[in-house]
Amino acid sequence: MTITIYHNRSCGTSRNVLTLIREAGHEPIIIDYMKTPPSREEMLALLIAMDMPPSALLRMKEPLYATLALDNPTLSDRALLDAMVEHPQLIERPIVVSEKGVRLCRPKEKVLEIL
């Protein structure tokens, strides 16, 4: 089974999810999304696969969230998606893709649903 993790090695949850994947016997494709951010089309596909609006994938504790006033209820999904593509640090992590589905793995045990 092919597994891909959109990973940020500075994030404890992301590191823990990577460990769970490996403990389950898989070596995933690791995308350091801070160095190689997903394109707009890739982000949209991930959101659709998770049945999640862009607002649910934003890191609200990220200082840039407040700086860009992303809590403004008049912002469209398109504007939020554009902000995530331009500033990948705003993307909640980790996102894991497998043949069984796509999940935002918070809490870390969510990854077990798709292994």
| Structural domain total, the chain | 2
If asked whether residues 17 and 52 sit together in one domain, one would say: no
> pLDDT per residue over 6-57, tens digit each?
999 999 999 999 999 999 999 999 999 999 999 999 999 999 999 999 999 9
Looking at residue 91, the DSSP 8-state letter turns out to be: B
DSSP 14-75: HHHHHHHHHHTT---EEEETTTSPPPHHHHHHHHHHHT--GGGGB-TTSHHHHHTTTT-TT-
- Single pTM value for the model: 0.95
Which residues is 96 bridged to in the sheet?
Answer: 5, 103
Angle at 80 between CA 11 and CA 99, to 5 degrees: 60
- Is 11 catalytic? The answer is yes
Q: Is 112 helix (H, G, I), strand (E, B) or coil?
A: helix
Residue 54's CB is within 10 A of a number of other CB atoms, namely 22
Identify the domain containing residue 97 by its residue range.
1-33+93-115
Given 11, 34, 45, 75, the catalytic residue: 11
If asked whether residues 11 and 46 sit together in one domain, one would say: no
pLDDT confidence of 97, banded at 50, 70, 90?
very high
Residue 60: per-residue pLDDT: 96
pLDDT confidence of 3, banded at 50, 70, 90?
very high
| CATH code assigned at 2 | 3.40.30.10
> pLDDT per residue over 53-95, tens digit each?
999 999 999 999 999 999 999 999 999 999 999 999 999 999 9
